[in-house]
Amino acid sequence: MIFLTTGLAKMAEKIVLLGAKGMLGSEVYSLCAKDNIIAFDLPEFDITNKKQLEETIEGANVVINCAAFTDVEKAESQYEQAFKINAEAVGTLAQIAHKKNIYVIHIGTDFVFDGRKETPYLETDEPNPINAYGKSKLEGEILLTKNHNSCAIIRVQWTYGKNGNNFIAKLISLSRQKNSLKVIDDQFGSPTWTQEAAKVIREFIAKKPRGIFHYSAAGFTNRYQMAKFVFEKLKINTELIPCKTSEFKTAAARPANSRFCCDKIQSLLDKPIELWQKPLERFLKTI
């Protein structure tokens, strides 16, 4: 079941990472490789299997849950499966962690909001998901906090990283196939590198704060401007044409505003959160 172990047990705590092959999980694993971290993911480990979950987190001090059903489009037609992974399994994790006194760091999403707010979302804002994925993730948050109190939910948004099928990967892949690309300019957020989010998670392992926290890079942009930034830095000549969300037919609705107010999490962090352009530029140099 274990596919990765570090053998470098310098930290006294036993940390279990779920969803370790995913875009965020793989960054957390790389960053914490010198700590006592054990990593799990499909196909060897299935978070919806209660017995496996119980065995997997036995003896852990900290569990980081990056496992999730993240296909926003498929979640519309496969809600039952999305709910099992994003909600039910999180509730089971909470119950086990509560019994065993394990601190849980769970990853949440901006998709719990409807995106109609015109300013950045606060942790105290009322969630109102507008698609099936967002609903399943919100149910997971509710089940976690109902069953366990030694936990933190870090909501992230517009994440990108080397191991994921994210917006940047899609842009680069499409630029190889087309001379021009239409990109929406009416959805706003803060592109956030999973490597930066992993650093935050590592600070949470040490500090163990409780509650809901919003994390993203500072500043904000829209998808079209983000694409322009990426193409300029990578010297990609494909023409970018701004367009509106209504021009794209998708199964799942997306929030127009994904911006987070990160004041709460910033007060806990060792360093100021950087403007989105800086980490994105560093990331682009790695690919």
Ligand X SMILES: NC(=O)c1ccc[n+]([C@@H]2O[C@H](COP(=O)([O-])OP(=O)(O)OC[C@H]3O[C@@H](n4cnc5c(N)ncnc54)[C@H](OP(=O)(O)O)[C@@H]3O)[C@@H](O)[C@H]2O)c1
Residues labelled as active-site residues: 133
Instruction: Give the integer Cα–Cα distance in Å for 269 and 163.
Output: 25
Q: Interface with ligand X includes 121 (CB under 6 A)?
A: no
- Smallest distance from the beta carbon of 12 to ligand X, in angstroms? 27
Smallest gap from residue 220 Cβ to ligand X (A): 15
Find the binder of ligand X among 39, 64, 68, 152 (CB under 6 A): 68
Residue 191: CA count within 13 A, CB half-sphere: 24
Q: By CB under 6 A, which span of 40-48, 113-121, 202-210, 275-283 interacts with ligand X?
A: 40-48
Can you tell me which of 15, 17, 25, 223 binds ligand X, judged by CB under 6 A? 25
Q: Which stretch binds ligand X (CB under 6 A): 17-25, 173-181, 199-207, 247-255?
A: 17-25
* Cβ pair 40, 1 in contact under 8 A: yes
Residue 162 forms beta bridges with which residues? none
Candidate list 4, 31, 33, 42; residue touching ligand X; CB under 6 A = 42
Does position 156 bind ligand X by CB under 6 A? Answer: yes
92 near ligand X, judged by CB under 6 A: no
Angle of helix 277-286 versus helix 223-234 axis, rounded to 10: 40
Indicate the burial class of 267 (C-beta count within 10 angstroms; 0-12, 13-18, 19 or more): exposed
Q: Which of 15, 16, 24, 38 binds ligand X (CB under 6 A)?
A: 24
Residue range at the interface with ligand X (CB under 6 A); choices 152-160, 199-207, 229-237, 273-281? 152-160
Number of residues that bind ligand X (CB under 6 A): 28
Q: Which stretch binds ligand X (CB under 6 A): 103-111, 120-128, 203-211, 227-235?
A: 103-111
112 binds ligand X (CB under 6 A): no
Applying CB under 6 A, the residues found at the interface with ligand X are: 19, 21-25, 41-42, 45-48, 66-70, 85, 107, 109-110, 137, 156-159, 164, 166
